[in-house]
Structure 1
Amino acid sequence: MAKRRKVAAPSADDLNRIEEEFRRETSPRSAMAPISQISADAALSANPVDAKTRAADAKQKADADALQRIREEGRELLSIPLDQIDARAMIRDRTMIDADEMSELTNSIEAHGMRLPIEVFRRETPKDDTKEGRAPYGLLSGFRRYKAMSQLAARRSDPKWQNITAIERDPDALGGAITAMVEENEIRSNLSHYERGRIAVVAAQQGVFGSTEEGVNTLFAVASKAKRSKIRAFALIFEELGDMLMYPEAIKEREGLRLANALRNGSEADLRDILARGTFENAEAEWAALVQVIDAAAPGARKDPARGGRPKGFAAKPGWQADTRVLSSGVTLRHDTDSNGHMIRIGGDVDQALVESALEHLAYLLEKPSD
């Protein structure tokens, strides 16, 4: 029979020693569940913000995002010093400004402020450009408003006239700076026929377009075929006579078509000769000189008897001659019909642009009325 082992109760020293060993071997742990401990640690490390501050931060971020969108869409209004804008950074379509209209605009801006901002584009500065004083912005549209503000700045010491409200545009996104400028003037203040033709020629000469034809088709893409034809006629006038004409903007549409037709028929030398003879006091006197050459070069015009030709009075009198209508200009109109419908035959010295304009008007008259 095995002997029973006698068990002795531990002493107080033994209990203290056991407890000390237990504490050393066991790390202190919280009674919390692990996820609760993580949440508590995150809350302690976070910077607590009240609801009012969080709302203000959210609004500030939304405003910053909205401002960025406005800038990207070209809707941000800028206040730019006048001397930071080069009004001659690109060729202008307007060749003259009416003094009375300019004075009226200046007085209006002085009294009520400038309600419509100008448009500018940021100019590229080449790396090797060391020229000082180069304006960082070029004027895209609003030339008259810019001039009015410049006049006010020159005669007023108030700093408010030294800056102008503007919108920065991306010319490439608008289809080109020149196209954008022309569109702006076509919408707000129509250009003269001569100004339309001139800008197409100058743009082509400066390499913006490959030819005058391309310039007209691009700058006035939304215009009708007849209108583009008229613009090409005035472009020809600028190319051949622009350096000698004193009052080109005063040439009316019909007069311009006659002048362009004379140029096409080889009258350039005679027209330049008569323009070189003297200074004309007004537009009427200049046109009276030009029309002498135009009439002399027109088909059916009376020839010098010494040179032969048909006698005076050859041209038919205005009115109906059988089934043909003779106009005072010498142009004839004849109406006929066949199995396909009606025909109108136009005879005489008629410019193509004028014919196209007549077709546009005829199409308007025959268009079916909308219900």
Structure 2
Amino acid sequence: MAKRRKVAVPSEDDLNQIEERFRRETSTRSGMAPISQISADAALASSPLDVESRAANAKLQADSDALQTLRSEGRELLAIPLDQIDPRAMIRDRTLINADEMKELKDSIEAHGMRLPIEVFRRETTADNAAPFGLLSGFRRYNAVRELASQNDDPKWQKITAIERDPEALGGAITAMVEENEIRSNLSHFERGRIAVVAAQQGVFANTEEGVNKLFAVASKAKRSKIRAFALIFEELGDLLIYPEALKERDGLRLANALRNGSEADLRDVLSRGTFENAEHEWDALEAVIEAQETKSRKDPARGGRPTGFAAKPSWQGDTRVLSSGVTLRHARDSNGHMIRIGGKALDKDLIESAIEHLAYLLEKPDD
């Protein structure tokens, strides 16, 4: 059986010796808890900031947050060198720039600065074009600043104020460009039709019809009908016309009707053979073909398609007007306005659209 060890109670001297040895083997601050020790060391290692410094840091953080918000919302103003922007990165809706208007704009920017930034979108750079940005809107402002840069050594004209946009698709970018130009400087009828056709040809829209409807979604049906007429002119004659932007609204609609009624070959022939000094001479040549086609349509009103003249010798049956083509027109009126009911076997979609177009430019105030 193991012998039990007798435990002796330490004396006061023994306790004093143990305590002295403990003090020598531990830090002078060993009585502090570990977390307190770490906090104390960190406080000693850092220098406390005064009130002004803490306020400045808070302002910097607030400014940084505000900048991130502006950037995420597409409202950050950038100063971009002109050579980093490609003005032809996307198809343009405007084909002509009025020289007097450009001079006025350039003089205004030179005197007062550019008050409205241009809009750009980021693009992939290639070997052919290293510009990281494409011009979205502000084509005239960009060109005005570029002219100032070529005429002045002042470095301020080497950059231009811009906002970077991130359009979801090219169709959105083109729509934004059209809307900007429609608001600030109305496009010509031909320019409106042209941009819809080119956008469709480049695959932005399924066809010209969709291009017109999406690019000019806020326009009235009558206006979109006119744009489709000028789109047809661009599709069929755009490569031969010298002064297409000079076409007036009524003249353009007559030309589009002539194209729909089969006069394309004759119109292309007269344009390819003619040498025209100005827009009036070009229109005189076109009008000769158009009048011949309109005369033919008046002599044969039942030929279908989109007629340009009224049928001869209409008759009345009560309150209904009966045309020689068999089409009937009946007028009625209620509290909401006038109504015209059109009937007859000769009707088709093209004929109704033609009638709507004709009514549109009769009832709507001409732009010219």
Q: TM-score, normalised by structure 2?
A: 0.76
For residues 353 and 101 of structure 1, do their structure 2 counterparts lie closer, same or farther at Cα, with a shift above 3 Å needed?
Answer: farther
Change (3 A) 1:301 1:37: closer
User: 2:57 is paired with a residue of what secondary structure?
Assistant: helix
Q: Give the distance between the partners of 1:273 and 1:363, measured in 2 at CA.
A: 33
Alignment of 1:161-172 (within 5 A): 161-172=157-168
Q: 1:146 matched to which residue of 2?
A: 142
Contact 1:226–1:357 at 8 Å: present in 2 too? no
What are the Cα deviations for residues 282-322 of structure 1, in whole angstroms up to 9, with x where unaligned? 2122112111111211255469xxxxxxxxxx9869xx9x9
Q: Does structure 1 residue 291 correspond to structure 2 residue 292?
A: no
Give the 3 Å change call, closer, same or farther, for CA 47–260 of structure 1 in structure 2: same
1:21 Cα offset (Å): 2.7
Separation (CA, whole Å) in 2 of partners of 1:122 and 1:168: 7
Deviation (angstroms), 1:179:
1.3
SS of 2:256's partner is helix
**Residue 24 of structure 1, CA deviation:** 2.7
Q: 8 Å contact 2:193–2:234 — kept in the other structure?
A: yes
Number of the residue aligned with 2:196: 200
| TM-score, with length taken from structure 1 | 0.76
- 1:62/1:20 Cα in 2 relative to 1: closer, same or farther (>3 Å)? same
- Distance change >3 Å, CA 292–CA 50, structure 1 → 2: same
Equivalent pair of 2:250/2:361 in contact (CA under 8 Å): no
CA RMSD of aligned residues (A): 3.9
What are the residue-to-residue correspondences of 1:178-327 with 2, within 5 Å? 178-298=174-294, 299-301=296-298
> Is the CA contact 1:193–1:234 (under 8 Å) kept in the aligned structure 2?
yes
> Residue 34 of structure 1: CA displacement?
6.1
Q: Which runs of 5+ in 1 are unaligned?
A: 1-13, 304-313, 326-331, 365-371
Q: How many residues align?
A: 329
Between Structure 1 and Structure 2, whose CA radius of gyration is higher?
A: 1
2:156 aligned partner, one-letter code: K
What SS does structure 2 have at the residue aligned with 1:124? Answer: coil
User: For 1:83 and 1:206, how far apart are their aligned partners in 2?
Assistant: 26
DSSP-derived class of the 1:48 partner: coil
Tell me, in whole angstroms, the C-alpha distance in 1 between the residues paired with 2:211 and 2:225: 12
Contact 1:120/1:139 (CA < 8 Å) preserved in 2?
yes
1:177-229 Cα shifts (integer Å, max 9, x gaps): 21111111111111111001001111111111121111111111121222111
Corresponding residue SS for 1:276: helix
**Structure 1 stretch 232-241 or stretch 74-83: which is displaced more?**
74-83
Long gaps (5+) in structure 2: 1-10, 301-309, 322-326, 344-349
Residues 42-121 of structure 1 mapped to structure 2, 5 A cutoff: 43-44=43-44, 47-121=47-121
1:355 aligns with 2:356: yes
**Residue-by-residue CA offset, 1:246-284 (whole Å, 9 max, x unaligned):** 111111112111111111111100111111221112212
Name the CA distance, whole Å, in 2 between partners of 1:45 and 1:247.
79
Instruction: Please say which of residues 288-297 and 165-174 is displaced more in the overlay.
Output: 165-174
